[in-house]
Chains A and B, each alone.
Chain A
């Protein structure tokens, strides 16, 4: 197998042994993007000049036997939600078309320091609002396993790029499942760390109390490398945690025997596709086979998570997106008067789903409705968090399906927002509780579409989560047809 088709950690090993050079990897990545991305549309733009310079510098460090770490020289790509100095960053929205940030997000700065070669910016649902990447103002991304299907979302570009081996690793963001759900839909690993584990500075906000940065890779070890490079306290993000960052990769080798895994009955109910359930239960049995103790648990308030989420997230979004007013940057509509300028700019600059959520959130915060909606949602959120706290008194991790179905067809749920929202029914509670979660591949349905298994961990216990995920991930790496065709 070609080196660039290997999972990230093996590419890292190949770089370390000198088997492959950063420049060769970059060329292979760019060649594959040129050949395949016309069909996938994972990338919104490439940063070839910066990437060539970065690959050259990485090669120099590798030659000097002074690499910056396991990522030094590895091509990666970023969801177009990360501000990158001098590179257009649109957040999938028309309202930010042409916007060039004057600074790097903390995550981008750390990745550059780690020697990662950033090849481009990836497609996403506008402002990370969506579960299919169809809400991008720049057109949808296709699923590498079936081009008529979506890769999930909102980080669909990131997931598709990794699954199609356009890059070994990518970063997305996860507010209600936007990393884990697309990872499940395309059959790769994707992790949402604990809220506060990774700095949000320079990551364009959707819902500040829920947003979290996270990595995609083919393998769990690759995820661990990527997470280690970006995790940690940042004085520019006061919601980031000062807890020390453990050595994630070192935790992976330890076995899982004796770990207690909780199976919540609320995550195997109505709406779950039988094929997904079968694959996930098989995954649970594999964990049992590895010596895990599997326990039934209950997370009774989880069924309220979607309703709670669509109040909290939209309320915060309605405020976070107020800055896109046409005054300082981004799109501005022609208008004679200030109010008219605001109205036309936002009417023309935002897509339908973004407008829907701004209106929902504005309503939830309005005088006379605040107590009934926002305040009540915060109370339910506290109950959901308490459910998990109680569960973690008896188990080390919770296992569930990542999403109730495998990848759905383009357009299938576009006119039915509620059906689309339910695609995140198992991932949303994790964001509301601020916990770490990871999705790993656990087989295929009868159509040959990947199924994802979600593991949920204790706050800041990414180590245990990665350790279980590593043990449970499938040994083989089946390639999607689009890669084999190429």
Chain B
């Protein structure tokens, strides 16, 4: 098959739930997972007479996205009704934006791909959810009216892999902006893909197919790859791609027709008469701040001396970036802690990044104990683990667990003398040039000290007492 002769053209439409506490047109909670139809009111149930009242918080979040991606933010945008019948749509229309969206243009930076252009970002309300059960279907309207932004990307992606990278970058950026939780499983970050193919060198776009139900990064790749192959095969066999919407079957890994162009809804968009135009003043626009996006944070960490791999690992989760920031000193060592001890604790369920028990600013105190010789490096690891687990002050942990090293020279000297007295034969060998025995002596002393001796100090004492071993002998 000649997939290689064709060029896929892919554009993604992402629906991202905004992290407002209440819905976009009423005061109901947006919390996920509540019992069905417990977070509803006259407005989001579409009861007769109810009217929408805009939640400005959703507007601020849309502006934040627009500013982050360099979109034009409209001073005046228009709400529109998208009309269709479905049981999860209580008013029989969705309040959305159509002709004049709040954001247009802009681009999303994607590592390795440069910038992928955006057509627009608009605000809209989510629908409810149909629950198909035995004996009939039920509707849960808790999600009805949850604010969404729809981010419409330009058809600038050329492979399933690129689509997946774009999605990952977009998802992470929205998380950094604090406007979306990036949860594909709970449906708070959803994606549709428009896919077409054309012969290489051809400038005209092929007929596009819209893919739905691709709600994981893996499914996005699978669905798009399947669809590209299907379209190429169709064209190679002399057929034509039909403009249609197809559903991805994630069990079989195939796409199947959902509705044809002829069956497509005529949404009869028209301006929403219940809401005045959405006005964004200069003051509002200026008041919306945009935090650093992932790409910028990677660069910042690199400049501070953090190795690239560590930087990428930290940036993959803004909560790790936050811990790193709060440690405050020695960026490189802090990065090692974050991708080392902290990541391990998270993996072993001993820490929850959403609810940390410790103050990252205490981490340097542990390093200080270690560097001054007050505790051993092994003990330092234990103190860090305990700090992560309990949040207790490092000094307290050292004291409670008896991890302090003996560095008092009089006490150490007595032990060193005892070890030398106990092992005359080894002392002889050492003096004869077997320098490696130094470790043996230190080990014996450590045993006497129950592991709490300062190994550096012991090393020094043994060398002083026995004289430097002659290294040249050792080589023979």
Interface residues of A (CB under 8 A from B): 82-83, 89, 91, 96, 99, 101-103, 105, 200-205, 207-209, 235-239, 315-316, 318-319, 321-323, 325, 327-329, 338, 342, 362, 365-367, 370, 374
Contact A238 B273 (CB under 8 A): no
Which residues of chain A come closer than 8 Å to B45, judged between CB atoms? 328
Q: 14 A–B contact pairs at CB < 8 A?
A: A83-B48, A83-B49, A200-B51, A204-B49, A238-B53, A238-B274, A239-B275, A323-B91, A328-B45, A328-B90, A328-B139, A338-B87, A362-B268, A365-B270
Contact A366 B50 (CB under 8 A): no
* Contact of B48 (CB < 8 Å), options: A91, A209, A370: A91
Contact B48 A204 (CB under 8 A): yes
Which residues of chain B come closer than 8 Å to A236, judged between CB atoms? 51, 53
Interface residues of B (CB under 8 A from A): 42, 45-54, 81, 83, 85, 87, 90-93, 139, 266, 268-270, 273-276
Which residues of chain B come closer than 8 Å to A200, judged between CB atoms? 49, 51
Q: Which 3 pairs of residues, A with B, have the shortest CB-CB distance?
A: A322-B92, A208-B273, A365-B268
Contact B92 A315 (CB under 8 A): no
With both beta carbons as reference points, the residue of chain B lying nearest to A363 in the complex is identified as: B268
Q: How far is the CA of A318 from the CA of B269 in the complex (A)?
A: 12
With both beta carbons as reference points, the residue of chain B lying nearest to A330 in the complex is identified as: B48
Q: How far is the CB of B179 from chain A (nearest CB, A)?
A: 23
Q: How far is the CA of A235 from the CA of B27 in the complex (A)?
A: 12
Contact A322 B83 (CB under 8 A): yes
Q: How far is the CB of B303 from chain A (nearest CB, A)?
A: 48
With both beta carbons as reference points, the residue of chain B lying nearest to A89 in the complex is identified as: B48
Which residues of chain B come closer than 8 Å to A325, judged between CB atoms? 85, 87, 92
Q: How far is the CA of A384 from the CA of B93 in the complex (A)?
A: 29
Contact A342 B274 (CB under 8 A): no
**Max count, chain B CB within 10 A of own CB: residue among A236, A323, A342:** A323
Which residues of chain A come closer than 8 Å to B93, judged between CB atoms? 319, 322
Q: A208-B273, A238-B274 are in contact. Are A319 and B268 (CB under 8 A)?
A: yes
Which residues of chain A come closer than 8 Å to B269, judged between CB atoms? 365
Q: How far is the CA of A99 from the CA of B273 in the complex (A)?
A: 25
Contact A238 B48 (CB under 8 A): no
Which residues of chain B come closer than 8 Å to A208, judged between CB atoms? 273-274
**Max count, chain A CB within 10 A of own CB: residue among B50, B52, B83:** B50
Contact B49 A239 (CB under 8 A): no
Contact B92 A201 (CB under 8 A): no
Contact A103 B42 (CB under 8 A): yes
Q: How far is the CA of A99 from the CA of B45 in the complex (A)?
A: 14
Contact B276 A322 (CB under 8 A): no
Contact B50 A201 (CB under 8 A): yes
Which residues of chain B come closer than 8 Å to A365, judged between CB atoms? 83, 268-270
Q: How far is the CB of A353 from chain B (nearest CB, A)?
A: 18
Q: How far is the CA of A319 from the CA of B46 in the complex (A)?
A: 12
Contact B266 A367 (CB under 8 A): yes
* Contact of A329 (CB < 8 Å), options: B47, B266, B275: B47
Contact A328 B46 (CB under 8 A): yes
Q: A367-B268, A370-B270 are in contact. List 7 more A-B contacts (CB 8 A).
A: A83-B47, A91-B48, A102-B47, A202-B50, A204-B48, A321-B92, A328-B46
Q: How far is the CB of B324 from chain A (nearest CB, A)?
A: 43
Q: How far is the CB of B243 from chain A (nearest CB, A)?
A: 15
Which residues of chain B come closer than 8 Å to A82, judged between CB atoms? 49
Contact B49 A237 (CB under 8 A): no
Q: How far is the CB of B383 from chain A (nearest CB, A)?
A: 55
Contact B51 A201 (CB under 8 A): yes
Q: How far is the CA of A315 from the CA of B85 in the complex (A)?
A: 16
Q: How far is the CB of B128 from chain A (nearest CB, A)?
A: 10
Q: A201-B49, A201-B51, A366-B266 are in contact. Are A239 and B274 (CB under 8 A)?
A: yes
Which residues of chain A come closer than 8 Å to B81, judged between CB atoms? 319
Contact B273 A316 (CB under 8 A): yes
Contact A315 B270 (CB under 8 A): yes
Which residues of chain A come closer than 8 Å to B139, judged between CB atoms? 327-328
Contact B48 A323 (CB under 8 A): yes
Q: How far is the CA of A316 from the CA of B83 in the complex (A)?
A: 11
Which residues of chain A come closer than 8 Å to B90, judged between CB atoms? 323, 327-328
Contact A327 B87 (CB under 8 A): yes
Q: A208-B274, A325-B92, A328-B46 are in contact. Are A237 and B268 (CB under 8 A)?
A: no
Q: A319-B268, A327-B139 are in contact. Are A237 and B92 (CB under 8 A)?
A: no
Which residues of chain B come closer than 8 Å to A319, judged between CB atoms? 81, 83, 92-93, 268, 270
Which residues of chain B come closer than 8 Å to A322, judged between CB atoms? 83, 85, 91-93
With both beta carbons as reference points, the residue of chain A lying nearest to B92 in the complex is identified as: A322
Q: How far is the CA of A321 from the CA of B92 in the complex (A)?
A: 8
Which residues of chain A come closer than 8 Å to B87, judged between CB atoms? 325, 327, 338
With both beta carbons as reference points, the residue of chain A lying nearest to B264 in the complex is identified as: A367
Contact B268 A366 (CB under 8 A): yes
Q: How far is the CB of A176 from chain B (nearest CB, A)?
A: 15
Contact A202 B276 (CB under 8 A): no
Q: How far is the CB of A417 from chain B (nearest CB, A)?
A: 23
Which residues of chain A come closer than 8 Å to B52, judged between CB atoms? 238
* Contact of B49 (CB < 8 Å), options: A205, A207, A342, A362: A205
Contact A235 B91 (CB under 8 A): no
Q: How far is the CB of B300 from chain A (nearest CB, A)?
A: 42
Contact A238 B49 (CB under 8 A): no
With both beta carbons as reference points, the residue of chain B lying nearest to A127 in the complex is identified as: B48
Q: How far is the CB of B458 from chain A (nearest CB, A)?
A: 76
Q: How far is the CA of A338 from the CA of B138 in the complex (A)?
A: 12
* Contact of B276 (CB < 8 Å), options: A91, A101, A239: A239
Q: How far is the CA of A322 from the CA of B94 in the complex (A)?
A: 11
* Contact of B275 (CB < 8 Å), options: A105, A238, A323, A338: A238
* Contact of A238 (CB < 8 Å), options: B42, B54, B268, B270: B54
Q: How far is the CB of B88 from chain A (nearest CB, A)?
A: 9
